[in-house]
Chain A
Amino acid sequence: MPLDASDLGAIWLTVKLASLTTLILLVLGTPIAWWLARTRSWLRGPVGAVVALPLVLPPTVIGFYLLIALGPHGWLGQATQALGLGSVVFSFTGLVIGSVIYSMPFVVQPLQNAFGAIGQRPLEVAATLRASPWDTFVHVVLPLARPGFVTASILGFAHTVGEFGVVLMIGGNIPDKTRVVSVQIFDHVEAMEYSQAHWLAGAMLVFSFLVLLLLYAGRRGKAGWS
């Protein structure tokens, strides 16, 4: 077995982190994407830009600010302490918070595009057929935006799996809590354990390729609005 218990622990932790992050992002990102796709408010630009920031910022910048903000002197850290959550730096919760921010654009943008592509008409049709806005959202918008949700989930999951800089900055490299695969690979390289690094890195490469393959293959049959 080329992978030891700590490698497997890191893989399991990574899967757990990516799944939870994706789930939270779908719940959080859907209303944000919907708002961005529909609003005519002047806030659309600024909010869109903030959501897209992780696309261009080095993860270390996000990690560094999170380290400070979530720390005992930061406003987020003081908030979590006031809420009785204690400090979330060096914890799985902290990684989830970091990953949600880090992967946000990868979920929000496909959703926003999917919502935008639906256009005004189906919503109007539904309204004239007695569907309330919420009813319309559940029974018309969500099914029509399904390809967007699939893309968003895959990208959100895969991008979280590939996360490194943020985890490095706020994780503390704790086995089974914050030591994810990417950090584990880095560790192996640092410790000159190149064979283990190879196995993990190779697995990551194959995984990423399969994810993208799935995404591009699935894009062919998309339903349009007739």
Chain B
Amino acid sequence: MTGSIVARLELARDDFTLDVDLLLPGRGISALFGHSGSGKTSCLRCLAGLERAASAYIEINGEVWEDSASGYFQAPHLRPVGYVFQEASLFPHLSVRSNLEFGWRRIAPGERKVSLDQACQLLGIGHLLARRPATLSGGEAQRVGIARALLSSPRLLLMDEPLAALDGPRKREILPYLERLHDELEIPLVYVSHAQDEVARLADHLVLLEQGQAVASGPIGETLARLDLSLAQGEDAGVVFEGLVVGHDPHYDLLDLRLPGSSAPLLRIAHPAHVMGSTLRVKVQARDVSLALAADSASSILNRLPVRVRESRPADNPAHVLVSLDAGGNALLARITRYSADQLGLHPGQALFAQIKSVALLG
């Protein structure tokens, strides 16, 4: 299939059996999300050819890399992947520059899509070129690791928890660079993580792995809003939107974002002016959404969207219910008390107003 990533993998391990059939978009960031031991890293290693599954079919944008049925296995060094490991894993015997050029030198000049300057600029590492890896901070080293992977001009970028080994400030240092990759590169990226905030911020497509099985796979907005998944139960449960910047009120310093879809509503957030027509990713947490029968404008709530109830389910806390809503084609999640649900006479198809207490801008 053209324009997509197909990975059917079966792999028996001591502690679990990986058995997945993944179909990921051929562009953007797909996150493999799950607890440790769920098989995320094994999936990634199989894609790179670092591990050989008992049964495997791997096809990247129309190109078959592995097909165990016909005994075909492309050696890892022949697969155009860029792999970023959890630890930067720079070669200690080479300078930063030589590390960066390691993969770059090994591809034909005609196939080099990224230049050293571009990669340095993209990751802000131009000033580190002459240094030895041992002298770099964890965040710097990881940025070099990412740039090194990019410079091999991969057709698929794989990242295995690239932030997990870093502390909070170092994570915040790298995240903007990853977002730039997302915005500026055409390379599909498969990103393994067990941190929900990273996934919410970066991923376009989300695969939820549990004990070697892919229990869900879909666009990030929809998947986060699915009530049947464990994701909706968490304290941080919520949905993300890609909002199009359509207006700015200089007097109150409020930014207008239009959600995707033809009849989609506007979201207003307190934010300085931003480039018109650009997109911003925002997160709305389920616990910040309340529901009302009428649009009550007499409150401090900024965002009040007309929604339709899709379904509701008991939350893990018996006092609460989780409600999945449709806001002009966009999924929204609300966490309200069971008492309130009864007061509203909550039922599928019901038209309500969602009052959004806060919108978090991601990135």
Question: In the complex, A touching B, CB below 8 Å?
Answer: yes
Check A226 against B134 for contact (C-beta < 8 Å): yes
Residue of B nearest to A143 (CB): B93
In the complex where A121-B85, A122-B89, A143-B93 touch, is A226 in contact with B141 (Cβ < 8 A)?
A: yes
Q: Give Cα A124–Cα B86 distance, bound, in whole angstroms.
A: 13
Binds A, one of B102-110, B203-211, B289-297: B102-110
Q: Which of B88, B92, B133, B149 contacts A128 (CB 8 A)?
A: B149
A126–B141 touching, CB < 8 Å: no
Closest chain A CB from B187 CB (angstroms): 14
Looking across the interface, which residue of chain B has its beta carbon closest to that of A133? Answer: B77
- Given A143-B93, A223-B93, A226-B92, residue A132 in contact with residue B77 (CB < 8 A): yes
Could you tell me if A129 and B152 are in contact, using CB atoms closer than 8 angstroms?
yes
Assess whether B48 is interfacial by the CB under 8 Å rule.
yes
Q: What is the number of residues of chain B that contact chain A, defined by CB distance less than 8 Å?
A: 31
| A-B Cβ contacts below 8 A, count | 77
Cβ-defined contact, B50 with A124, below 8 A: yes
Q: Does A23 contact B (CB under 8 A)?
A: no
Q: Which B residues touch A126, using CB under 8 A?
A: 77, 102
Residue in A130, A133, A136, A224 whose beta carbon sits within 8 Å of that of B92 in the complex? A224
Shortest beta-carbon distance from A149 to chain B in Å: 13
> CA–CA, A125 to B149, complex, Å?
9
Which residues in B have their C-beta under 8 angstroms from that of A139? 102
- A216 at the A/B interface (Cβ < 8 Å)? no
A144-B93, A223-B93 as given contacts; A131 in contact with B106, CB under 8 Å: yes
Pairwise interchain contact A130-B50, C-beta atoms closer than 8 A: no
For residue B81, give the distance in angstroms from its CB to the closest CB of chain A.
6
CA distance A126 to B148 in the complex (A): 11
List A contacts of B107 (CB < 8 A).
130
Name A117-162 residues within 8 Å CB distance of B.
Answer: 121-122, 124-133, 135-136, 139-140, 143-144, 146
**Chain B residues near A225 (CB-CB < 8 A):** 92
Residue B76 interfacial (CB < 8 Å): yes
What is the minimal beta-carbon distance from B358 to any residue of chain A, in angstroms? 41
Q: Which of B75, B78, B148, B158 interacts with A129 by CB under 8 Å?
A: B148
Given the contacts A224-B92, A225-B92, A226-B92, A125 and B152 also touching, CB distance less than 8 Å: no
